[in-house]
Structure 1
Amino acid sequence: MIPRSAIALASFIFLSAAAPDPILNRVITEARANPPTSLAFERQTRTVSQENGGENESQLRVDRWDGRIFTLVSINGKPPAAKEADSFRKAAGARPVPGYYRIADLLKAGAVRLNDPQGRLVYRVTGLPKGTISVGKDVSANVMADFFVDASGAQPYVTRTRTVLIKPLSFFMVAKLDSLEIINDYKLDGNGKPYLAHATQAIAGAQFGKQGTTRIESNYSMLR
């Protein structure tokens, strides 16, 4: 027999989870109003990698999204070879287009409302939908994401997302992911629409006994 206190607690948790959250609903609705086909941007991405404490290897890439396809503009200031451009286009086409619109599906994945020590409104999601984050292996279920919301204006919007690996992961006995942090910053354009402005990824781990780190920083310039 289940104690009445347990039944009461279960009912409380269910009702609390089902309670409508007008701010969350408005954030999700706004995010859905900006699909990738409505976006056009240029992205500058610098990737810095280091293996076994050696020298840094750096690459600067520029690409564009026109609402339909990605185009690789340059690598380290030089036009890409045809093979590089084709390979990039295929790889980019297999991944979601970066953008504020993605917040809608991520916040639907069991967001819990809380306030951080600075008093900011935050929605936390533990475990993101499959396919959200891949580092050679899909680790979406193994991360926790915080969505920081500015609700001071007429339309609340997410100003920053911070996603971190919950605990280190081992892959097939040959690789280990020690840490992962992804930070996306969003701004408002001239029409008051939020857009992805800046993103960083910091990854540390090992493969075949070689320790390494990678930092990827991207800046987005909206073209429309």
Structure 2
Amino acid sequence: MRNPAPHIVTAFEDAMKRLKASIVQMAGAAEAQIDQALACLTQRNPDLAREIVESDARLDSYEHEIEAHCMRMLVLRQPVADDLREVIAALKISGNLERVGDHAANTARRAAAMASFPETAPIAALPTLGRLVRERLTTVIDAYVDGDVEAALRVWRSDDEVDELYTSLYEGIVRSAQKSPEMFEAHMHLLFIAKSLERIGDHATNIAEVVHFVATARPLLDERPKADRSRGTT
């Protein structure tokens, strides 16, 4: 069987570089969404929340463009083996990033609703979880770009760190709600914000699994480390 012509290989490599660049751009937009959502939470600024919700459409647009790019590559280039995994990975990562944007927008929306309530102790604790999941997302995208499966595995193995912090926040919000039943609505918003941030951490872990699959051609079959004692309650 003859090897593909050099210009065909080069064309595929160029297309793959553009695809990865699109993923990096989308990840940057998702990270910015998280940063803005956390700023909205700390500043209690409804106007900023509206901007974040409106800008979520940009991530949807990125996902559609990446999906179309992948479909063209599958149809025109018919990649196999390593190349096929790279294309599939881009599809999966873009889907996870789109969901990250949704959770950031939900966080901003809930934070805006909180603006009319007095500040409570759990509000001050939530940004810590937000910064942790944001850092995990950045690490795993860097691992994708660099092909660093060990960095991706470190994110995957530390998923229980996010769960432990989320559980601690969840329990703190419940205790606060019990002491101040008149603030029930505010505490419900806080619970949903905490869950949205925890889910961003889950999407970072999903991407870590994709990076591992691209590098090794094997799925991660081990059970994910979990320390979320609130499962089934939110």
Could you say which TM-score interval applies, normalised by the shorter chain? under 0.3
Decide which structure has greater strand share: 1
TM-score, normalization by structure 2: 0.24
Q: RCO higher in 1 or 2 (8 Å CA, sep ≥ 6)?
A: 2
Decide which structure has greater helix share: 2
TM-score, normalization by structure 1: 0.25
